[in-house]
Amino acid sequence: MSGIDLINVVKRFGALTIIDKLNLAIAEGEFVVFVGPSGCGKSTLLRMIAGLEEISDGELRIAGNRMNETPPAKRNIAMVFQSYALYPHMNVERNLGFALETARLPTAEIRERVTKAAKFLKIDHLLERRPAQLSGGQQQRVAIGRALVRQQKLFLFDEPLSNLDADLRMEMRVEIARIHREVKATTVYVTHDQMEAMTLADRIVVLKDGFIAQIGTPMELYERPANRFVASFIGSPRMNFLPGLLAREGEESVLSLSGGRHRLAAHDYAGDVTLGIRPEDLMLGGGEATLEAEVLLVEPLGGESLVHLNVGDGRSIVVKAQGKPNIRPGTTTLVGWKHERAHLFGKDDRALLPGRT
């Protein structure tokens, strides 16, 4: 058992409340990603689990035991830092073995565990080097190795890939997924990159201003965002938003946009709404619902293109189209979508579903 339970957890710095009564249960062996814009409290939350930040109120349980007052080293947690935080004066071997050395393990066992971890991470040829003599990716591997040798049941990652360039980031992302598959430790991973979150997570926790905006599997968050914030945060390019008005007409609801009226299944809600459609759900030329739009710019990306359209009132939307569509800036085109791929958000930015408020 090495699940994590956060129960009504609060973090205050003086009069400022960073995290307010947060509840979250992480199952054993699960890979959970905390994602959110900077300042949303995701790192603070991770550091509270690690024991590097005090918990102002509420309870943290690891494997069912209260951990609020337990010092970090006794929580059976291994952590990887954003800056890698390798000890600059020690070679890779000592960096890897330092925690075990501190725990006074026999030298032979330290050696064995270090060798095993180094092989696993493909850094066994670097054991004599100092951190300064390693590339960013190699340093990252050492940092992960330092967590691995401790053979803990719980791994914490604090934005581990944000200092790497794009190529390496992808490589290490795959590597971290492999490690999780083989080690099966419960993992909490903090990032501001929704791509990392989508590819790595069993479940994603989207945080905003110290609140949980939504918890769910990557596909749940993508398909059914609970609110406008999650909708715009998950997915790239961002979801398009258009203002509209929703009114009940008998057995149907009618959505009025500046470009036309659309009949939808009955909603209990009536009033101002925001229509959200992902760029990849928009089609050029037609669909169940359509708008007329002026082509502003076509950005070919190779296999697909981003088409920027002006739908009136100076509002622009982005369409992701296959290949390179044969349209020119300045011309007018029809853009459409399927109703089932459209998301509606009420005045409080919460997602609206048919028949529900």
Partner 1 sequence: MVRSRANRRLHRIAIYSLFTVVALYTLFPFYWMIASSLKSGQAIFDVTFLPDLKFNNYEAILSDGVFLRSLMNSLIVAASVVVLSLGLAIAAAYALGRIDFRGRSPIMFLFLAVSMFPQIALLSGLFEMIRWLGLYNTLGSLIFAYMIFTLPFNIWVLTTFMRSLPRQIEEAAIMDGCSPLRIVRCIFLPMMGPALMSTGLLAFIASWNEFMFALTFILTDENRTVPVAIALISGSSRYEFPYGAIMAASTIVTVPLIVLALLFQKYIVSGLTAGAVKG
- Closest distance to partner 1 from the beta carbon of 175 (Å): 20
Residue type, 163: N
Nearer to partner 1, 164 or 215 (CB): 164
Q: In terms of CB distance, is 123 or 204 closer to partner 1?
A: 123
CB of 155 to partner 1, least distance (A): 11
For the CB of residue 13, give the shortest distance to partner 1 in the complex, in Å: 12
Closest CA to 333 of 350, 317, 344: 317
Least distance (Å) between residue 112 CB and partner 1: 18
Cis check: omega of the bond before 237, within 30 degrees of 0:
yes
Positions that interact with partner 1 (CB under 8 A): 50, 52, 72-73, 77-79, 81-83, 85-89, 98-99, 102-103, 146, 150
CB of 334 to partner 1, least distance (A): 54
Q: Which of 83/256 has CB closer to partner 1?
A: 83
Nearer to partner 1, 161 or 239 (CB): 161
| Cβ–Cβ < 8 Å for 299, 305 | yes
143/291 with CB nearer partner 1: 143
DSSP strand pairing (31-35 vs 203-208): parallel
Alpha-carbon 57 to chain mean position = 26
Contact between 58 and 70 (Cβ < 8 Å): no
Contacts of residue 63, Cβ cutoff 8 Å, sequence gap at least 6? 1, 2, 3, 153
283 forms beta bridges with: 336
